[in-house]
């Protein structure tokens, strides 16, 4: 059985590996499900946590080649930009991780179009600095919402705080996160 999914990762040689097809099958000896990468590259055997090599599959090679080809081309010209955002007066938005990077630019674009924006962030000092800077740039002020996505009690507290101030949420931008977090457990015991 084939599952169409798109996974991009980095090989040790810094070459991009994009894979679109995985095959799910049963291990004969252990009768455990495992995912096999169908491109000839090593893959992780979920039942033993070791790398094993797989045979090359024509559809997988075609998908990999198509991905490499499309990555070599320049991206298409954007058809829609910040200037195309309609007036957002009366709309309430939350942007997680809005104090830096893409989240900060999202908050800025929303403020420029008159949205009421809550910047949800775990670091109050960094968030307030970003809010002050954005106010200078846009003339509008975002609202800080304390939120640590790795702490479920913090998530609940942030939701309760938001609901005490607002009756509606029009858009939630789930931007916050960590690319490569250290392995461990969060406060509630989840991995």
What pLDDT sits at residue 128?
Answer: 97
- Which residue would you say has higher pLDDT here, 137 or 176? 137
Q: What is the pLDDT of residues 122-143, one digit of tens each?
A: 999 999 999 999 999 999 999 9
What pLDDT sits at residue 39?
Answer: 41
Partners of 45 in the beta sheet? 50
φ, ψ for residue 146 (rounded to 5)? -70, 120
Question: Is the full-model pTM beyond 0.85?
Answer: no
Instruction: Please give the DSSP secondary-structure letter assigned to residue 99.
Output: T
What pLDDT sits at residue 69?
Answer: 75
Structural contact between residues 6 and 15, judged by C-beta atoms closer than 8 angstroms: no
Longest dimension (CA), the chain: 66
Q: What is the pLDDT of residues 155-175, one digit of tens each?
A: 999 999 999 999 999 999 999
Q: Give the Cα separation of 66 and 36 in Å (integer).
A: 20
Q: What is the pLDDT of residues 74-125, one digit of tens each?
A: 777 888 888 899 999 999 999 999 999 999 999 999 999 999 999 999 999 9
Q: Give the Cα separation of 39 and 2 in Å (integer).
A: 13
Q: Which domains does the chain have, with CATH numbers?
A: 2-72 (no CATH), 83-173 (3.40.50.720)
Q: What is the pLDDT of residues 20-49, one digit of tens each?
A: 334 444 434 443 334 444 444 444 444 444
What pLDDT sits at residue 72?
Answer: 80
């Amino acid at each position: 059985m084939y599952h169409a999914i798109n996974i991009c990762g980095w090989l040790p040689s810094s070459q991009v590996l994009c894979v679109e097809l995985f095959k799910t099958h049963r291990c004969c000896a252990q009768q455990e499900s495992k995912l096999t990468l169908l491109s000839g590259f090593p893959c992780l055997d979920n039942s033993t946590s070791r790398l094993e090599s797989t045979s090359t599959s024509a559809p997988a090679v075609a998908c990999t080649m198509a991905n490499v080809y499309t990555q070599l081309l320049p991206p298409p010209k954007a058809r829609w930009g910040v200037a195309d955002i309609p007036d957002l007066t009366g709309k309430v938005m939350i942007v997680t991780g809005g104090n830096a990077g893409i989240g900060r630019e999202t908050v800025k674009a929303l403020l420029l179009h008159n949205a009421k924006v809550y910047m949800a962030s775990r670091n109050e000092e960094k968030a307030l600095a970003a809010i002050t800077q954005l106010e200078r740039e846009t003339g509008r002020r975002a609202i800080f919402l304390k939120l640590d996505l790795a702490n479920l009690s913090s998530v609940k507290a942030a939701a309760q705080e938001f609901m005490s101030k607002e009756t509606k949420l029009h858009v939630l931008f789930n931007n916050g996160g960590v690319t490569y977090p250290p392995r461990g457990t969060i406060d509630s015991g989840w991995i």
